[in-house]
Structure 1
Amino acid sequence: MNFTSEKVAAVILAAGKGTRMKSQRPKVLHPLAGRPLAAYPARLAKILGCAPVALVVGHGAEAVGAALGGEGLVFAEQTEQLGTGHALLCAEAALSGFSGTLLLLCGDVPLLRRDTLERLLTAHHAAAAAVTVLTAEIADPHGYGRIVREQGDVARIVEEKDAAPAEKAIREINTGIYALAAPWVFAALRRVGCNNAQGEYYLTDIVGLARTEGHRVCAVITADASEAMGINDRVQLAEAATILRQRLNAEHMRAGVTLLDPATTYIEPGVTIGPDTLIHPGVHLCGATVLGRDCEIEPGAMLSDCILADRVHVKAGSILEGSTIGADCNIGPMAHLRPGTVLLGENKIGNFVETKKARLGKKSQASHLTYLGDAEVGERVNFGCGTITCNYDGVNKYVTTVGDDVFVGSDVQLVAPVTIGSGSLIGAGSTITKDVPPDALAISRAEQKIVPGWAAKKRAKQKKQL
């Protein structure tokens, strides 16, 4: 039988309930650095060029399918939990007609690296093996299946409960990650059957069958045992998050990014950061956020799905979501930029300023205590403290349009829909409900009245009443 085909498909086992997570959510959907656990092996399989990639679902199958539907997977369902071998058999129909190498991954093992799996596949192809298992050497192998070798190849995999004292001393363990010859593996699982006390199909039984049939069974040892770490409870989930965070942060630092305290800097896998950017402690960079060169992100800032050009300074405590920020902008402290915000460059959005679907031209600014929602703003506009675009009438949202070189005084309400012409000035304390033409002055507050001596007379009257 020829096992040298370099075509590779992948099956990801994700049917388990994960009772130790103590959760209604399927285990493989628990988030790790912003992504479901199962998304990690799914995306890695795609990067490796596997086709098709089948995900075996069971508990919470509908939720898993909905969450991972955009990953380009085919789904197979395991309705009964009859072991890992049975789970793999459930994917047979999804791989109908496939002949080559089947890469078997686990939906709760998110830390595998590309180069590790490439080494596994290369060794499998070079040996023309029926089975190649990824193994790891650990200091305390208690509870794991041991790898028993003969002349370099794998003779058998012995579970903890069945291991003799000499076998228990073996520190090389089975990670549950395999390269397998397909379609041979499906026929092999049916031949070994489930005639055991548990009535389950044991994937490890195919090792003995392969050797009986004269096929090679090989092993590749991972250089870092933590890569094969399975997530069974929330403690292990936190441990995996720490490992992944350290890995990602190290990559950014080697690429020229300064992290003042990597242990308290949270950067998700899809984030891109330009060199010479400075990240302070307590920063969260999430989603598909992109930072340019020479940016500075101060403590406690949270950015999600944002694009920042070069030399943007985000000050402490600011939250940015779905926003696009041009070069040389200053944001915060304590600013909130909501989705749809676009700053074209050299803008200042100061403390306790909130924006939403607001587009500001170059050098326009709102320094403090302002709300700009559904606004189209020109260049060099100044919004005074307490300015509000009143964009919602309880039913519909409306747009405020502000031209270039407008000065808006403090405590102004711009009641949309309204247009403020270029070069105009809005007096402090005004409520603007009508369009303002260019270069005009608009004031809507009541005329100030002064009554000389009124306060003194009031105090004298109050004194007599005591």
Structure 2
Amino acid sequence: MTQRYAIVLAAGQGSRMKSKLYKVLHPVAGKPMVGHVIDQVEAAGTEKIVTIVGYGAEKVKDYLGERTEYALQEEQLGTGHAVVQAEMHLKDKEGITLVICGDTPLLTAETLNNLFTYHQAQNAKATILTAHADDPTGYGRVIRNENGSVEKIVEQKDANPSERLVQEINTGTYCFDNRLLFEALSQVGNDNAQGEYYLPDVIEILKNQNETVDAYKMPNEAEGMGVNDRVALAEATLLMRQRINRMHMQNGVTLIDPTTTYIDSEVTVGADTVIEPNVSLKGQTVIGEDCFIGANSEVLNSTLGDGVRVTSSTIKDSIMEKASNIGPYSHLRPNSRVGEAVHIGNFVEIKNATIGATTKVGHLTYVGDADLGKNINIGCGTIFVNYDGKNKHRTTVGDNVFIGCNANLIAPLMVEKNAYIAAGSTITKDVPTESMAIGRVRQENKLDYFNKLPH
């Protein structure tokens, strides 16, 4: 099989984004644009990827890590100049090199595979990935002769009036014979409106050498969208979310209103799960089968087992085991683990805590820095007091404990199994097994108090 290589162009500053964040690191559906590109390039079976970096190079390297090799474009002198920077990595290799922009997050591995296959079938030395555009403004035009063969690519600023009417556009993605690519790049000049070294000039150079140059027109124009400003970023995000939502629905997930359901690209959802409107599922979230995610919920980097119910609540960096439920209006903060068949009611906040199976945390309660056993009942208004103004402390509660309403458990504290805590108590000492702790002021009634007041 012919070897496949890839060069990812990710050196531009992206000044039209008007952002401190490097352009290709702007997220689309929860993942930086260049991350989407690298994912699809890898899936297309490339042996080696070289990413051209410039502005923000270290941040791009930090994000992509060892998935790719890198070449630095110190001066931004055009796309041809950018590709030349990969010469030391690829020059002597035989095979097909894909050149793709790091700001094209919608391109799929399927399209890239089709491009590779078409290029090889045509025995071409260069193949352009093109699309039809109703409004081609801003794109390079693919100019064909009367026989339909590709003659050249003309950039918008260099196109004459008749060339500007052409609606077949260059998406900025190509396949090249690797060896001929770098030979031709040495002949590219910068005599153009921008004074830059254009990669598309390689097409004309190869044509003049009587090499076969072709174009593969993809059916979906939107897939080749390049993101250069916040408007395009929003458009790409919308299209990506539609693609993601369609995939989940085809896999057996019910989305009540897909237009208001926001699911990041790395999220997985099991079959027969129902998701109501205005739900956001973000990051590396995993949701099991037969779950219910109610309206206005947010789940970030969390795992939900089968049969979990979430009603208008927020879950971050946490785990809910199967058949547990939460909400409405409750919050799992990071590093919380909710056991099997646990009930968490409304207006409950849990942070850095584990809760054992079948425990009930009804409502209006804060559980922070605590380890709770199984089958515990926590009454309304209970507070796990974990912070002394300087340090956090943990509370441990054993199995089958009953905690009455409006209790304050002041950490560090151990409540052993089968114990009871009376309502309204403030508990500062460990509670032995099978005992009852009462920590409240004894009630005293002042008789005839009303008549002693001035009227």
TM-score for the superposition, normalised by structure 1: 0.93
Where do residues 59-458 of structure 1 align in structure 2 (5 Å cutoff)?
Answer: 59-66=55-62, 68-70=63-65, 72-95=67-90, 97-150=92-145, 151-196=147-192, 198-316=194-312, 318-454=313-449, 456-458=450-452
Bigger mean CA deviation after superposition, 10-19 or 141-150: 141-150
Q: Output one character per residue of 1:164-215: Cα deviation in whole Å (capped at 9) or x when no partner.
A: 5543333211110011111321121112233456442111111111122222
Give the match's secondary structure for 1:462.
coil
Output aligned runs, 1:26-45, within 5 Å: 26-45=22-41
CA distance in 1 between partners of 2:321 and 2:179 (Å):
54
Shift of 1:153: 3.4
Q: Distance in 1 between matches of 2:168 and 2:82?
A: 25
**In structure 1, distance between residues paired with 2:386 and 2:154:** 68
**In 2: Cα distance, 1:148 partner to 1:333 partner:** 60
Q: For residue 340 of structure 2, what is the amino acid of its counterpart?
A: G
State yes or no: 1:21 paired with 2:17.
yes
Per the alignment, in what secondary structure is the counterpart of residue 106 of structure 2?
coil
Provide the secondary structure at the position in 2 that maps to 1:192. coil
Task: Show structure 2 runs of 5+ residues with no match.
Answer: none
Residue deviations 1:22-47 (CA, integer Å, cap 9, x gap): 11221111121111111111111122
Task: Indicate the SS of the match to 1:191.
Answer: coil
Q: Distance in 2 between matches of 1:57 and 1:93?
A: 15
Separation in 2 of the partners of 1:255 and 1:373? 37
226-235 vs 69-78, which moves further: 69-78
**Could you tell me which amino acid in structure 2 is paired with residue 174 of structure 1?**
N
Name the CA distance, whole Å, in 1 between partners of 2:301 and 2:192: 51
CA RMSD of aligned residues (A): 1.7
Structure 1 position 298, deviation (Å): 1.1
Does the alignment pair 1:462 with 2:449?
Answer: no
Q: CA deviation at 1:225?
A: 0.3
Give yes or no for contact 2:157–2:193 (8 Å, CA) kept in 1: no
- Partners of 1:268 and 1:301 lie apart in 2 by 14
Give, in whole Å, the separation in 1 of the partners of 2:31 and 2:66.
12
3-state DSSP of counterpart to 1:38: helix
- What's the offset of the Cα at 1:223? 1.1
Deviation, structure 1 residue 157:
1.4
Paired AA for residue 286 in structure 2: V
C-alpha separation between the residues in 2 aligned to 1:94 and 1:325? Answer: 47
CA contact (8 A) 1:415 1:433 kept: yes
Letter in 2 for 1:149: R
Residue identity in the other structure for 1:357:
N
- TM superposition score normalised by structure 2: 0.96
Stretch deviating more after TM superposition (135-144 or 292-301): 135-144
Alpha-carbon shift at residue 393 of structure 1 (Å) = 2.7
What SS class does the counterpart of residue 115 from structure 1 fall into? helix
Instruction: Name which of structure 1's ranges 94-103 and 396-405 shifts more when overlaid on structure 2.
Output: 94-103
Task: Render the CA deviation track for 1:276-333: whole Å, top value 9, x for unaligned.
Answer: 11111110000111111111111110000111111111011x1101111111112011
Instruction: Output the CA distance in 1 between the equivalents of 2:241 and 2:127.
Output: 30
Q: Kindly state the Cα deviation for residue 115 of structure 1 after the two structures are TM-superposed.
A: 0.9
In the TM superposition, what is the alpha-carbon distance from 1:10 to its structure 2 partner? 1.1
Which shows bigger deviation, 138-147 or 399-408? 138-147
Q: Give the residue type in structure 2 aligned to 1:235.
A: V
- Give the 3-state SS of the residue equivalent to 1:128 in structure 2: coil
